[in-house]
Amino acid sequence: MTINKIGTKTVKGNTKATVKPSYKKAKNVKIKSAVLTVKKGKKTIAKNKKSVALAAGTYEVTTAVKYQYKGKTSTVSKKQQLVVKKAAVKKTVVKMNGKTINCPAGSRSRAIAPAATRNGSTTFRVSVSTRAPSQKSASRPLLMPGRLAIAPPRYKR
């Protein structure tokens, strides 16, 4: 009965990495339980859990496996250090009207269009879109993050 090494995990943004006990067993060994205890510094984050979701950071993980071999029950445990890294944000550079704009990956475009006109004042509606720039709509302009444009008012026919 051996407990495998937990490798470094990488997460995107604010997501969490799920860690589960990993072990190798012989043919005649029966697993009773496999649990994790996770500590960050002196604080215990999870105690005797089958799986744990962890954000970016450095943790001390103790894996304990209770097994039965030839009728005899035993426990084996291993303490390891786990590093959950945050993936680097990929930025794309876009040239627009002679200006260079950095667009972080996963950013969404914003558009503003007038929603209603009442008593001579115009109310504006902000919409966030994930459409590609090639799928532009005439009634709702699609812009790069951080850019602002006011669309012409819609008239009823």
CB 124 within 8 A of CB 141: no
Please check whether residue 11 lies inside any domain of the structure: yes
Q: Render pLDDT for 109-128 as a digit per residue (tens, 0 to 9).
A: 444 455 555 555 555 555 55
Q: Which residues pair with 92 in a beta bridge?
A: 103
> Which segment, 67-71, 131-135, 137-141, is predicted with the most confidence on average?
67-71
pLDDT of residue 111: 47
CATH number, domain containing residue 15: 2.60.40.10
Q: How many residues does the chain have?
A: 157
Q: Which of 24, 21, 44, 45 has its CA nearest to residue 33?
A: 21
74 versus 134: which is more confidently predicted?
Answer: 74
Are 8 and 70 part of one and the same domain?
Answer: yes
Q: Render pLDDT for 5-26 as a digit per residue (tens, 0 to 9).
A: 998 999 988 899 999 999 999 8
Please check whether residue 128 lies inside any domain of the structure: yes
pLDDT of residue 138: 47
Please check whether residue 102 lies inside any domain of the structure: no
How far, rounded to the nearest angstrom, does the alpha carbon of residue 97 sit from its chain's CA centroid?
34
Please check whether residue 95 lies inside any domain of the structure: no
Sequence-separated (6 or more) residues with CB below 8 Å from residue 65? 1, 3, 21, 23, 31, 33, 34, 35, 75, 76, 77
Are 75 and 122 part of one and the same domain?
Answer: no
Please check whether residue 31 lies inside any domain of the structure: yes
Number of domains in the chain: 2
Are 68 and 121 part of one and the same domain?
Answer: no
Q: Render pLDDT for 33-81 as a digit per residue (tens, 0 to 9).
A: 999 999 999 999 999 999 999 999 999 999 999 999 999 999 999 999 9
Q: Which residues constitute the domain of residue 82?
A: 2-86
Are 45 and 9 part of one and the same domain?
Answer: yes
Q: Which of 7, 62, 58 has its CA nearest to residue 36?
A: 62
